[in-house]
Amino acid sequence: MVELFRQQPLLLSGAICLLGLAVGSFLNVVIYRLPRMMEHGWLLEIEEHLLDRAWPVPEALSTFLKARTRRFDLFVPRSACPSCGHSIGALENIPVISYLALRARCGGCGTHISGRYPLVEIASALLSALVAWRFGFSLACAAALVLCWSLIALALIDFDTQLLPDSITLPLVWAGLAFNLFGALTDARSAVIGAIAGYLALWSVYWLFKLVTGREGMGFGDFKLLAALGAFLGWQMLPLIILVSSVVGAVIGTFLIILARRGREVPMPFGPYLACAGVIALFAGDWLTRAYLDFL
The dihedrals phi and psi of 187, each to the nearest 5 degrees, come to -85, 160
pLDDT of res. 262: 63
Environment class of 11 (CB within 10 Å of its CB; exposed 0-12, middle 13-18, buried 19+): middle
The answer to whether 163 and 145 have CB atoms below 8 angstroms apart is no
The dihedrals phi and psi of 95, each to the nearest 5 degrees, come to -55, 135
CA distance 296 to 291: 9
Using the 8-state DSSP alphabet, how is residue 149 labeled?
H
The answer to whether 155 and 275 have CB atoms below 8 angstroms apart is yes
DSSP 3-state assignment of 293?
Answer: helix
**Cα-based angle 251, 32, 278 (whole degrees, multiple of 5):** 40
CA distance 262 to 179: 41
CA distance 133 to 176: 21
The answer to whether 194 and 231 have CB atoms below 8 angstroms apart is yes
Q: Where are the beta strands (DSSP E) in 69-225?
A: none
The answer to whether 249 and 268 have CB atoms below 8 angstroms apart is yes
Digit-by-digit pLDDT tens for the chain (296 residues) are 777 777 788 899 999 999 999 999 999 999 999 999 998 888 888 888 888 888 888 888 777 777 766 777 888 888 887 777 788 888 888 889 888 888 888 888 888 889 999 999 999 999 999 999 999 999 999 999 999 999 999 999 999 999 999 999 999 999 999 999 999 999 999 999 999 999 999 999 889 888 888 887 788 999 999 999 999 999 999 999 999 999 888 888 788 777 666 666 667 889 999 999 999 999 999 898 888 778 87
Distances (CA, A) of 133 to 123, 128, 145, 234, 281: 15, 9, 12, 22, 16
**Secondary element (H or E) of residue 230:** helix 220-233
Environment class of 71 (CB within 10 Å of its CB; exposed 0-12, middle 13-18, buried 19+): exposed
pLDDT of res. 9: 83
